[in-house]
Structure 1
Amino acid sequence: MARWPKPPEGSWTQHYAELGTAPMSYADSISPEFYDLEREAIFKRAWLNVGRVEQLPRTGSYFTKEIRIARTSVIVVRQSDGSVRAFHNICRHRGNKLVWNDFPNEEVAGTCRQFTCKYHGWRYDIDGALKFVQQEGEFFDLDKDSYGLVPVACDVWSGFIFVNLDPSPRQTLHEFLGPMITDLDGYPFDRLTERWHYRSEVGANWKLYMDAFQEFYHAPVLHGKQSPAKYSAAAAQAGFEAPLYRLDGPHRLVSTSGVVTWELDSEMRKPMEDITRSGLFGPWDAPDLGPMPVGLNPAKCDPWGLDSFQLFPNFVILIWSGGWYLTYHYWPTSYNTHVFEGNLYFPPARTIRERVAHEMAAVTFKEYALQDGNTLEATQTMLESRVVEAFPLNDQEILLRHLHKVAGDWVTDYLGGDLEVTKR
């Protein structure tokens, strides 16, 4: 589906005829049956980002990831040779969750030499090998070499750790990502290690929240009161049209022009932005990160604002021109609930002023995200009424069409071409 040159003047959506322009159904966001199919067709077969290598600073460093839609938990651990491996978080003796602290459903992290089961004390090396069995002589012909931890396909790209729950993934991680994503190779993700993290349980289908961050048509209206009145009025009048939308396989990109915040009229800035020299668009004093990779700012905007890379199924990398980036994760927990995770990454602060600027950006982001999340819960409740079953999308909402089409395509492929079950 990759067609990267800018289309002729007119409609982006019409440039991708397979997406169509008719009103769109949101049946895939209110159907328990479709959610069950997404579990098997998407989340047990696609590459899923579960973290970054900085979370594993030394041999034996580990963290767990709860993937509730797939009904599993995985352990991700740094090996003695520096590589990263992943395993299903289950003891081979009686099926107890192997790594957890006080509450079995909470994610944990740490460093260890071995993993020890809380139930009967079986121990496993960080490479997954079973090393110790309590009262081993009581078992019948037990071959410890046959009872290591169950591995999960795991690979790393630009410091991002991905797993694939399919025992035999159909694509390598590099093949799955494709050129639009791998053209980010060379971005200094490894230098932006100061992380601010938010996590929220949202009462809406995971795709609906992804939709909210795939278009900026809503921003002047929904977030209008978050900005000074003069700026909000100007933004609402101008609307928003991105200079570039791009589709590549299952992934999407929206690239935008920028706003140089400190060059705005003082009446269009908040006093707190002047004090902290920071805000929604990040700190005003951008670090020098050196040359940027070819995959950034493909529209060659001047000034450039941000590139939002939407990696199927549930991961977003949003790179700002000001020298920092965001990631979003949307982890489904039911057909109408999910866990939203937001991470902000900056170069480590060297001064108190830089630290305050980072916190200002993080707090501002949280407030905008809360507005989006609250609205989506209202959307979910009314979609479930089924009073309206088809909704018109404008040209700025092309990425929404693509996400829902790709999700449907993966389910159709899983079913062997029959999607009728999802229409009930």
Structure 2
Amino acid sequence: MPHFPKPDAGSWTENWPELGTEPVDYTDSIDPEHWKLEQQAIFRKTWLHVGRVERLPKTGSYFTREMPSVGTGTSIIIVKDKDDTVRAFYNICRHRGNKLVWNDYPGEEVSGSCRQFTCKYHAWRYDLKGDLTFVQQEDEFFDLDKQDYPLRSVRCEVWEGFIFVNFDDNAGPLTDYMGDFGKGLEGYPFHEMTEVYSYRSEIKANWKLFIDAFIEFYHAPILHMKQATKEEAEKLAKVGFEALHYDIKGIHSMISSWGGMSPPKDLKMVKPIERVLHSGLFGPWDRPDIEGILPDELPPAVNPARQPTWGQDSFEFFPNFTLLLWVPGWYLTYNYWPTGVDSHIFEANLYFVPPKNTRQRLSQELAAVTFKEYALQDANTLEATQTQIGTRAVTDFPLCDQEILLRHLHKTAGDFVNKYQAEQGRTDTTGSAAHV
């Protein structure tokens, strides 16, 4: 559906009438049976972001990912083979099902490099393409043909250096899945931003609730007022906050906002340490010396409204990958990995151009530390939300015009569940999908 700018007295939501304006049913975030359907209908059917190609710098480099969102115990290996192809396999030895790649604790993710993968139980070996190359005491087996026992592969493709996997062998190509937003982001210099700060937290809330928190800024002047100076916080709380632009393309969406200007117009708006280090929540003020980040160099999907006060874009690639670009030339990724109806693992990575001096290094560290505080404020609120909607005292909630992407998220997730149930010949027994 084409997108139209919001008129002065109009609404974003009216541009997508299929989303409706009625209260949204949040039973989809508290019903255990609905979560089980999401696991099958969404997380086993869609492309899932698992890392960057920089984690695989040479032939034989690998890392493992635990994938509880796909199924209990599911683990995969991502590796670069001799042809520089990134591949993914189930982390299972074909002999007796032992976990193939792990160190001291089988539940922990690991990384490294090797020529072959060797099972620590009976020493079966597999090459970087997953082929079985060695069987201990092979003549003890009955008509064993090693060609019949390769590692079981998982579909794996790369977009702009981001590695994705899909557990559905019949799914379409990744580039098609990324759609117009993906096409419109091609060429952004992600490969230049290889200095990484990572956070991981176990959150006692449904995975969709955390995405909800990051696709509206209606809460920002209230929840995050301590991140600004007292005078600036009071002004924001009084006048409110509205983003510059919203867009929806198929199952994906985006929100564009002001902020992140470098440096701010008034240094009194920020805290003393931010003035010293030229950094803060919006990242380092000083742009790195690379191509592709100036306003006239940005790909067409970035700052689509071409607003002069633009600060950041947040792209929500369904189901659980957020890609957030900041005007000074750095980016964030979020992933939300559900482990149950009321729990998920939140992963955040901050990517900067490698610093050239101490000041640049400290400015990046300040941004990373400030972000952590910001995210913890959201996470704390979400656990309070989960406990209360879990009582089912209230399950329908009104959403304002700025919360349009929340409507889209819950409707999209519900559509996937309904389609899956139809394909399985079942009817909706939970009544939990929004806008059904």
- Give the TM interval when normalised to the shorter protein: over 0.9
Structure 1 counterpart of 2:294: none
Q: Is the 8 A contact 1:230 1:267 kept in 2?
A: no
Structure 2 counterpart of 1:5: 4
The alignment partner of 1:68 has SS state of: coil
Q: CA 1:178/1:383 → structure 2, altered by over 3 Å: closer, same or farther?
A: same
Structure 2 counterpart of 1:113: 115
The Cα shift of 1:167 comes to 2.1
Aligned residues: 422
Structure 1 counterpart of 2:51: 51
Q: How does 1:48-127 map to 2 (within 5 A)?
A: 48-71=48-71, 72-127=74-129
Structure 1: how far apart are the matches of 2:29 and 2:404?
17
Query: How well do the aligned residues superpose, as a CA RMSD in angstroms?
Result: 1.3
Structure 2 counterpart of 1:423: 431
The Cα shift of 1:11 comes to 1.0
Deviations 1:32-83 (A, max 9, x none): 1011001110000100000010000000000011110212111100011111
Q: Is the 8 A contact 2:418 2:428 kept in 1?
A: no
Structure 2: how far apart are the matches of 1:309 and 1:267?
31
Structure 2: how far apart are the matches of 1:250 and 1:315?
12
The Cα shift of 1:215 comes to 0.5
Structure 2 counterpart of 1:278: 279
Deviations 1:359-395 (A, max 9, x none): 0000000000000001100000001011112110000
The Cα shift of 1:288 comes to 3.7
The alignment partner of 1:325 has SS state of: strand
2:413 paired with 1:373: no
Q: CA 1:403/1:38 → structure 2, altered by over 3 Å: closer, same or farther?
A: same
Which amino acid in the other structure matches residue 341 of structure 2?
Y
TM-score, normalised to structure 2, is: 0.95
2:21 paired with 1:15: no
Structure 1: how far apart are the matches of 2:271 and 2:343?
34
The Cα shift of 1:259 comes to 4.9
Structure 2: how far apart are the matches of 1:226 and 1:188?
29
2:346 paired residue among 337, 340, 344: 340
Structure 2: how far apart are the matches of 1:407 and 1:259?
31
The Cα shift of 1:118 comes to 1.4
The alignment partner of 1:416 has SS state of: helix
The Cα shift of 1:121 comes to 1.0
Q: How does 1:147-296 map to 2 (within 5 A)?
A: 147-169=149-171, 171-260=172-261, 262-290=263-291, 291-296=297-302
Q: Is the 8 A contact 1:46 1:164 kept in 2?
A: yes
The alignment partner of 1:179 has SS state of: helix
Which amino acid in the other structure matches residue 431 of structure 2?
K
Aligned residues with identical type, % of pairs = 57
Deviations 1:119-175 (A, max 9, x none): 111110010000011111111111100100001111000000000001221x11011
Structure 1 counterpart of 2:407: 401
The alignment partner of 2:25 has SS state of: coil
The alignment partner of 1:401 has SS state of: helix
Structure 1: how far apart are the matches of 2:324 and 2:86?
25
Q: Is the 8 A contact 2:244 2:310 kept in 1?
A: no
The Cα shift of 1:4 comes to 2.7
Q: CA 1:419/1:289 → structure 2, altered by over 3 Å: closer, same or farther?
A: farther
Q: CA 1:419/1:20 → structure 2, altered by over 3 Å: closer, same or farther?
A: farther
Structure 2: how far apart are the matches of 1:302 and 1:268?
19
Which amino acid in the other structure matches residue 237 of structure 1?
K
Q: Is the 8 A contact 1:204 1:376 kept in 2?
A: yes
Deviations 1:277-298 (A, max 9, x none): 1000110111243222111110
The alignment partner of 2:69 has SS state of: helix
Q: How does 1:349-368 map to 2 (within 5 A)?
A: 349-368=355-374
Q: Is the 8 A contact 1:88 1:152 kept in 2?
A: yes
